[in-house]
Homo-oligomer: A and B are copies of this chain.
Amino acid sequence: MQVENDRVFLRQAIELAKNGVEQGAGGPFGCIVVKDSLVIGRGYNQVTSTNDPTAHAEVVAIRDACRHLGSYQLTDCDLYTSCEPCPMCLGAIYWARPRRVIYACTRHEAATAGFDDAVIYQEINVPVDERKIPFDHQALNEAAALFRLWKDKGDKKLY
């Protein structure tokens, strides 16, 4: 039963992806967020049409669902995506904290279509000073003071 329900929602994510490609919105990826069997967020890749490198299907759907809920947390929500998330989207998912993620294609299938998330998956584990994009650490007292400011703040909202 759950598998059959999952497939119904996965097909909706895939349909979004297909429409996105046909419209020329971006890459072949779609995502929906479901809560209590209702679709509360939708997204398809819009990187090239909106000039936003972060507009992956999952990020767009998470933002849409959070707007709908008026919350930055996707508690008790399930996220259906046409393809296994890239590291950016995986990070977005962990920050949004849905209950479950269901995906159809794997990152390896995505790679054969030219979406090489593997490079980013590898780079995450490379020491910062050996990355393809150079990462320079420059310690500054003012930056350390930011965390003290945060720790001392009385009315802060944690996330």
Q: Which of A33-70 contact B (CB under 8 A)?
A: 47-48, 51-54, 56, 59, 62-63, 66-67, 69-70
Q: How far is the CB of A9 from chain B (nearest CB, A)?
A: 10
A140 contacts which of B48, B88, B104, B147 (Cβ < 8 Å)? B104
A101 & B134 in contact (Cβ 8 Å cutoff): yes
Q: Which of A79-138 contact B (CB under 8 A)?
A: 82-84, 86-106, 109-110, 112-114, 119-121, 123-125, 128, 133-138
B142 & A14 in contact (Cβ 8 Å cutoff): yes
A121, B157: Cα distance in complex, Å: 23
Which chain A residues have a beta carbon within 8 Å of chain B's beta carbons?
A: 3, 6-7, 10-11, 14, 17-18, 21, 24, 26-29, 47-48, 51-54, 56, 59, 62-63, 66-67, 69-74, 82-84, 86-106, 109-110, 112-114, 119-121, 123-125, 128, 133-140, 142-144, 146-147, 149-151, 153, 155-159
